[in-house]
Structure 1
Amino acid sequence: MAELAESTPVGSEGIRWDLSDLYSSLDDPQIERDIKDALSRAESFEEKYRGKINSDTVNPPLLLQAVKELESIQEQIGKLLSYAYLVFAGDTSNPKHGAFLQSVQERATEVRKHLLFFELEWIALPDEIVNTLMHHESLAHYRHFLEHERRYRPHRLSEPEEKILDEKANTGSRAFRRLFDEVINNIRFKVRLDGKTKELTETETLTLLYDADRNRRKAAAKGLTLGLKENKHVLTYIFNNLVQDHAVNVRLRSFPDAMAPRHLDNEIDKATVDALITSCEKNYPMVERYYSLKKRLLGLKRFYDYDRYAPIFSEKKTIDYQTGKEIVLEAFGHFSPKMSEIAGEFFDKSWIDAEVREGKRGGAFSHSTVPSVHPYVFINYTGKLRDVMTLAHELGHGIHQYLSRKQGYFQCHTPLTTAETASVFGEILVFHKLKESEKDPKSRLSLLCSKLEDIFATVFRQVVLTRFEEKLHNARRNEGELTSLRINELWLEANRPMFGGSVVLTEDYGWWWMYIPHFIHSPFYCYAYSFGELLVLSLYHKYLQEGNAFVPRYLELLSSGGSESPERLLFRVGVDITDPDFWQGGLDLLRGMVEEAVELAGNVRFE
């Protein structure tokens, strides 16, 4: 009989977030009051403004008043939805949490029914009237929001159709996404360690893939595969249905292809994304060269998928939570005292949930909640170096969200392409702090290799995931419902080109598409990670060139949120994303890191 794993204390035990700035508990009477108030306000909003937005008589004062009222109602609903999701993420195994999330989603849909008309009337308004309105100075703050809404004009349906789709999603796509979370988070992966079979969470199992002991890595890979295969029927069914649901939306809304809705959300054109992906794929030999080097460093005859994240030296160093906190705050503070001060609030005010526990969702995220409150950071801290990087990553998000609150609910959120800017920049700051303070060549090489692998996972692997999604959506459209084995084939087809001949992908690895949440929650999200990483490499290079003069412009970029398009915002800090040489510049910096690793490896003595 398998036994539950016992974790070594790393200082994150008991580090839970305090959600009381949202609501005190599920029983907080303010929840019901807010839901009823939001519905009442939405009904009044509809009664007051229906027929007056798409009208010859609409004027700047009326439009401004309507947008402000709409924003306030949406923020009220956003606060409720944020609380419901954060409670659920903290313990997905509690039926009350799932029921509460479902209830809030359903009641939020009721509220949105009364608000939908505004968007549809606004996008139906003739261009000549819109142009006059948009040039009025009173609407300057909301200009980008209003412009962006009209970009969806060709893809919106009639109001009754939009209402039906939104309501049906609660028992359709939203329900399948919740089911995916519950299935994955409740799997206990059986891993054979030290002669005993232990039941591990997804986080604990994936952590073992970074273990110095190859047998433990292999056991973790086997346990992960077994756990996924045991749930292949339901997970494959979820994937098939959500891919088909996406295809139906694409068809109904007259998008040209499956990726087009994401490009529109990201305010980026297909040509720019294609240029990014092509540039990354042309540089796949860099990945192959690195893993060939790592194979030699580890002294392996064959280098398997479960060897990719092995440390090159068998240091079993644990970084406790307090030390990880100090590393991040010091690195942030060296760049900008303001960044360190904001990050400190997350620790001091219990805005972070860091412990690993039963029922808790895997992975990590920073949830912006709403501008009237503050962000919350969610991680599973196990004491590894990569957990320190994850902490820096999510706090980078948190700082971005904290600073952009001043833009208000409608414009505080950034497109996915720039959403990773602060998070990846935070990682870079921590990496360089650790690297500069490390004098031992072996430790420097180990740190550099670890960072290279993180960047490869963020740049090249995300391109692989995007290519897999393309293959998956195309196959579902052309072949009908797909079997698990067919999806395995597509997964391996997408992965092999990145590694060339450097990594042997096992048959078991073919099942590992099943646990990746981005495919479920945010179709075609992944290329935004590649965009963000290469963007940050370029921004960090500018910082090295310009020094402290760069800092205020960078913080202003974060504070701008989604108040302008990514292209305009980045132009302020001297970045032109339409320049073909831009992406290659970031890749050249990465190539320099690979060369540094090769050089360091030549100077290190192996015992």
Structure 2
Amino acid sequence: MAKALNPTWDLDCFFPGGSESPAFQEFLDDLNKRTETFHERLKKAESPQTEAEAEVYTDLTHELQAIMSRILEGISFTDCLASQNQADRKAVAMGGRVQDISALFQAALSQLDRFLAGIPDDVFISLLKKAPWSDASFYLNERRQLSKEKLSPEMEALASSLAVDGYHGWSKLYDTAVGKINIPFEVDGKLEQLSAGQAFNQLHNPDRETRAELFKLWEAAWAEHADLFADTLNRIAGFRLRLYAQRGWDSVHKEPLAINRMKKETLDTMWDTVEKNKEIFVRFLERKAKLLGVDRLAWHDVDAPIGKADKKISYEDAADLIVDQFHTFSPKMAEFARLALDNRWIEVEDRPGKRPGGFCTPFPLEDQSRIFMTYSGTADNVSTLAHELGHAFHDYVMKGMPHLAKEYAMNVAETASTLAETIVSAATIQAETDKEAKIALLSDKINNAIAMFMNIHARFLFETKFYAEREQGIVSIERLNELMVEAQEKAYCGALSEYHPHFWAAKLHFYATDVPFYNFPYTFGLLFSSGIYKTATEAGAGFEDHYIALLRDTASMTVEDLAAKHLGVDLKKPDFWQRAIDLLRADVEQFLALTE
């Protein structure tokens, strides 16, 4: 019998008392003073012209990393509080205070850019080879190069300050608005008011009539508040575009590519290779439609379970399944997952008032993570749990490293999480002997590939076109719906009978102000992890240490250099991407053969 697990997480080990925590208030007071001091120091700092002059700043990188880790701690704590209870307005207020401190820190970073840019090249190169500068060498060099393409430190600091109640404020407003959404729906014979997160889980219900009914209510709920969401999305994009224009940046992809330490050639090659391989995934959608007894799939059918996938899986059974499958790839990963599960690092309880979606967030001062989701027993929930545990393992293996050597980008972050999903699904499929169960498991795995190649592609196409039109003025609700459906039709190759016009309102990723273009890194993560998985299966025992070494390098080089060093491949060429996609094509071919 599976060991009983507590479905709620432990946050009191960080700051007792939740949003009423005196310890957290003291933490923020200290952090604010520390950040102010750091900012004032950098404002007065003169760029050293020799290595000897740099001796005055030997503690600079230490203090930089200490403040960064504490701000991340504050963000994680307030995000966890606000996510577990969207009615917790004190948590939102404290999150606002963390944002204020973060804005002050961004102003300090603008001064740091000025300081770094003023150091002669030969002196700077020499400093990066010596401790303590060497702890942050990649990050500091990256900042120095990018600062040359930004505004003056004073103007960048002003933009960061205004962003708190402007740019980031709109994002917070979106979170508040989503918390107000309730969808009346009958569950097990009882009418309930479903939160957005609960309703989203019901969209994966195995009963097609239930899905169809709920999807109409889902679309109607977002349409009812579409004016608010359209205003929010337009303002976020407007702020971003005006800042880019002031910097002289002519592409909305410049910032997300820089954040992801990725070249445009790599992104273009990835999408081009995906486009050339969509035909077989369209065949999967067509076959799935036949299995569901419809001519073409509707939007709510795409992720629908097939066959025996409608069986509910308890949280405890899901945990045991994940730990067992992790062990086939990496005993260290399995050991970590059990640690996280047993020590209440995970919030899964299915209750009203929680925000939708799932995430993993680090608490760097304690070298722990926390995972958030709403678990209702679906196969998709199991995948989400494995996914977030992959994120947490990534952080765990970097324990003890300097903070700046752990600041990895989103695309490689999605590598660890997506690989965790792949490990669980691949091992489970291989072990399954029942034909119908194998079909169901394959369908779930392929659904994830469809999401990365089609759903995520639609998001990327939508945002690219939306930003182009937003430069000419406000984009109306009607036009947002049109752009969304056009992107979905193109990304899904016209294979669906019904699309999701208000997806732009329902998907919180469009409103994340810390991460522009919160989409293509997911596809990168799936394919990069598939390439790693392929390498691992060929290497056999002993790859675990190579994988951990790759993860530990993820914040210290570009993705192109990372792939070249650890996998011996060139991401700017299609070979690697095709090899990764071929693994996923094989799943579809197996599914088509089994369902012939």
Common topology (TM > 0.5): yes
Q: What is the aligned residue count? A: 590
Mapped pair 1:216 → 2:207: no
Aligned residue in 1 for 2:504? 513
Q: Structure 2 CA distance, aligned partners of 1:344 and 1:255?
A: 46
Moved more, 277-286 or 238-247: 277-286
Structure 1 residues 159 and 58, CA gap change in structure 2 (3 angstroms) = farther
Q: Is the 8 A contact 1:189 1:199 kept in 2?
A: yes
In the other structure, the counterpart of 1:499 is: 492
Of 10, 35, 41 in structure 2, the residue corresponding to residue 18 of structure 1 is 10
Query: Which string of whole-angstrom CA distances, capped at 9 and with x for unpartnered residues, describes residues 511-552 of structure 1?
Result: 222111111103212111111101111111111111012211
Give 1:270's match in structure 2, choosing from 258, 264, 267. 264
- The one of 253, 261, 281 equivalent to 2:255 is 261
Q: 2:33 aligns with which of 27, 30, 40?
A: 40
C-alpha distance in structure 1 between counterparts of 2:501 and 2:543, whole Å: 44
Is 1:562 aligned with 2:551?
no
Q: Which residue of 1 aligns with 2:360?
A: 366
C-alpha spacing 1:316/1:405, structure 2 compared with 1 (3 Å): same
Residues 1:32 and 1:111: Cα distance change in structure 2 (over 3 Å): farther
Q: For the Cα contact (< 8 Å) 2:360–2:392, is it kept in 1?
A: yes
The question of 1:377 aligning with 2:376 is answered no
Is 1:349 matched with 2:343?
yes
Q: Please show how residues 443-482 of structure 1 align to structure 2 within 5 Å.
A: 443-478=437-472, 480-482=473-475
- Partner SS for 1:375: strand
Provide the secondary structure at the position in 2 that maps to 1:377: strand
The 1:510–1:311 alpha-carbon spacing in structure 2 relative to 1, beyond 3 Å, is same
- Is the counterpart of residue 542 in structure 1 residue 541 in structure 2? no
**CA separation of 1:359 and 1:139: change in aligned 2, threshold 3 A:** same
- Distance in structure 1 (CA, Å) of the matches to 2:344 and 2:27: 24
Q: Which residue does 1:299 correspond to in 2?
A: 293
Question: Could you say what the CA RMSD is over the residues aligned between the two structures, in angstroms?
Answer: 2.3
Task: Report deviation, 1:196.
Answer: 6.8
Deviation at 1:414, TM superposition (A): 1.1
* AA in 1 matched with 2:9: W
- Range that drifts further, 10-19 or 139-148: 10-19
Q: Assess if the C-alpha contact under 8 Å between 2:308 and 2:436 holds in 1.
A: no
Secondary structure in 2 matching 1:143: helix
How far off is 1:158 after superposition?
Answer: 2.2
Shift of 1:22: 2.2
Compared with structure 1, are the counterparts of its residues 43 and 512 closer, same or farther at alpha carbon in structure 2 (3 Å cutoff)?
closer
Alpha-carbon spacing, 1:248–1:58, altered in 2? closer, same or farther (3 Å): farther
Q: Partners in 2 of 1:566 and 1:371 — Cα distance?
A: 27
Deviations 1:66-92 (A, max 9, x none): 111221122223222221221111112
Provide the residue aligned with 1:74 in structure 2. 68
Counterpart CA distance in 2 for 1:239 and 1:437 is 45
CA contact (8 A) 1:328 1:392 kept: yes
2:323 and 2:334 in contact (8 A); partners too: yes
Q: Specify the alignment match of 1:84 in structure 2.
A: 78
Is the contact made by 1:206 and 1:220 (CA closer than 8 Å) also made in structure 2? no
Name which of structure 1's ranges 181-190 and 389-398 shifts more when overlaid on structure 2: 181-190
The Cα of 1:224 is off from its aligned counterpart by 0.4
SS at match of 1:359: coil
Tell me, in whole angstroms, the C-alpha distance in 1 between the residues paired with 2:339 and 2:486.
Answer: 45
Q: For residue 156 of structure 2, what is the aligned residue in structure 1?
A: 162
Q: What corresponds to 2:116 in structure 1?
A: 122
Q: Secondary structure at the match of 1:151?
A: helix
Alpha-carbon offset, residue 584 of structure 1: 1.2
Alignment deviations for residues 173-217 of structure 1 (CA, whole Å, 9 cap, x no partner) = 111111111111320023366887542122222222222221101
Q: How does 1:165-244 map to 2 (within 5 A)?
A: 165-191=159-185, 198-244=192-238
Contact 2:5 / 2:341 at 8 angstroms: preserved in 1?
no
What is the distance in 1 between the residues matched to 2:343 and 2:187? Answer: 38
Q: Distance in 2 between matches of 1:291 and 1:404?
A: 40
CA distance in structure 1 between the partners assigned to 2:149 and 2:174 by the alignment: 28
* Alpha-carbon distance in 2 for matches of 1:204, 1:400: 28
Q: Contact 1:186 / 1:359 at 8 angstroms: preserved in 2?
A: no
1:154·1:254 contact (CA, 8 Å) conserved in 2?
no
C-alpha contact 1:284 1:497 (8 A) present in aligned 2: no
Q: Verify the 8 A CA contact 1:17 1:352 in the aligned structure 2.
A: yes
Whether contact under 8 Å (1:267, 1:566) holds in the other structure is yes
Cα distance in 1 for residues equivalent to 2:38 and 2:223: 50
SS of alignment partner, residue 193 of structure 2: strand
The alignment partner of 1:420 has SS state of helix
Structure 2 alignment gaps of length 5 or more: none
Look up the match of 1:395. Answer: 389
Taking structure 1 as reference, are residues 149 and 485 closer, same or farther at Cα in structure 2, changes over 3 Å only?
Answer: same
- 1:16 is aligned with what amino acid? T
* Distance change in 2, residues 1:542/1:302 (3 Å): closer
| Cα offsets for 1:248-277 (capped at 9, x unmatched) | 121122222111101111111111111111
TM-score (norm 1): 0.92
Relative to structure 1, the CA distance from residue 304 to residue 354 in structure 2 (aligned partners, 3 Å threshold; closer, same or farther) is: same
Check conservation: 1:189, 1:224, Cα contact below 8 A: yes
TM-superposed CA distance for 1:12, in Å, is: 9.5
Structure 1's unaligned 5+ residue stretches are 1-9, 603-607
Distance 1:494 1:115 in 2: 37
Say if 2:546 is the partner of 1:553.
yes
* Percentage of matched positions with identical amino acids: 26
